[in-house]
Amino acid sequence: MQNEIPEFLYNMLLKQYGEEITGNIIKGYFAKRPVTLRVNTLKSNISNIEKQLKLENIQYKKVEWNENALILENVREIEIQKLAIYQNGEIYLQSLSSMLPAIILEPREKENILDMAAAPGGKTTQIAAITNNKSMITACEKNKIRLERLKYNLEKQGVKCVNVMQEDARKLSDYFSFDKILLDSPCSGSGTDNINQDSFSKELIDRLVKVQYDLLTKAIKILKHGGEMVYSTCSILMQENEEVLEKVLSKNNVEIIPIQIDKNIPTLPVKIKGTICVHPTNEFEGFYIAKIKKV
């Protein structure tokens, strides 16, 4: 098993989680995950989508903790992309783990919300749907190509409440002030099958830790007093999660809001109480989530 993932990652996981949990994580890495989708409630509803899937003879099961999510059982992504419900933006293909941050953020209508690293737009469109297009969302993306993808998805999903900025969120003016912030930070992807890519390295992790720290520091600066934010990564490494968080917590007047999640969501042990780390399995990608309040 050790040979199936980079040796440096195996050693990091072993040090953090021990042998038994590391073995289970590796199984999760190589499990074949089903296609999962989120119903876009700005354009459709769960019963309409279920009807369409039945007409196409696509089997699915519901997700207990998200009434607008479905797990598809006998189909590949490419086949779903041919359906009218996909092409019209009535559904959005999204991993179950990546649906969690926006739900945990609990965005509300009329709130001023920042999505700091928004492309390709899965979580931005999800926030817009949760708030019925009635919040004010600022979506940042520094990369021009990824920005165009974000704009495309916002339009396709019928999102009307987003102001898109081509900007590195670390450079946002300190005069900004937001009720809620989602920082789904750039990360190594150590909770996903990204570990098989050539770009995945120890150097990448070290480089990203600095980016994560700077983004989180900026987020807290421009979060209103009493405001709440979610910090998330698709990494399961302490270096990108708890260690970044601990550094920032020690320097700012913030507190962790304990996250309550459904018992069916598999989790890994965490160092900071109240935060969660989703265990990679045959249905979930590895994902870390912390909810923070500025006091």
Question: CA-CA distances (angstroms) from residue 185 to 15, 66, 227?
Answer: 24, 23, 19
Q: Catalytic pick from 140, 161, 187, 234?
A: 234
Q: Which tens digit of pLDDT belongs to each residue from 134-152?
A: 999 999 999 999 999 999 9
Domain boundaries, the chain: 36-93, 97-294
- Residue 4's pLDDT is what? 81
The strand order across the sheet containing 66-72 reads 60-63, 66-72, 36-39, 91-93
Q: Directed axis angle between helix 122-130 and helix 144-156, to 10°?
A: 30
For the structural domain made of 36-93, what CATH number should be given?
Answer: 3.30.70.1170
What count of other Cβ atoms lies within 10 Å of the Cβ of residue 84?
A: 9
- Residue 196's pLDDT is what? 82
- Residue 1's pLDDT is what? 42
Q: Which tens digit of pLDDT belongs to each residue from 44-73?
A: 999 999 999 999 999 999 999 999 999 999
In words, the CATH class of domain 97-294 is: alpha beta
Q: What is the mean pLDDT of the chain?
A: 96
pTM: 0.96
The yes-or-no answer on residue 140 being catalytic is no
For the chain, the distance separating the N- and C-terminal CA atoms, rounded to the nearest angstrom, is 46
| Best CA proximity match to 124, nearest among 206, 56, 181, 205 | 181
Answer whether 36-93 and 97-294 agree in fold: no
- Residue 2's pLDDT is what? 45
Task: Tell me which of 70 and 197 has the higher pLDDT.
Answer: 70
Distance of CA 57 to the CA centre of its chain: 30
Residue 97 pLDDT greater than 80, yes or no: yes
Q: In the structure, what pLDDT confidence band is assigned to residue 193 with cuts at 50, 70 and 90?
A: confident
Distance CA 192, CA 176 (A): 33
Mean pLDDT of the 75-89 span: 97
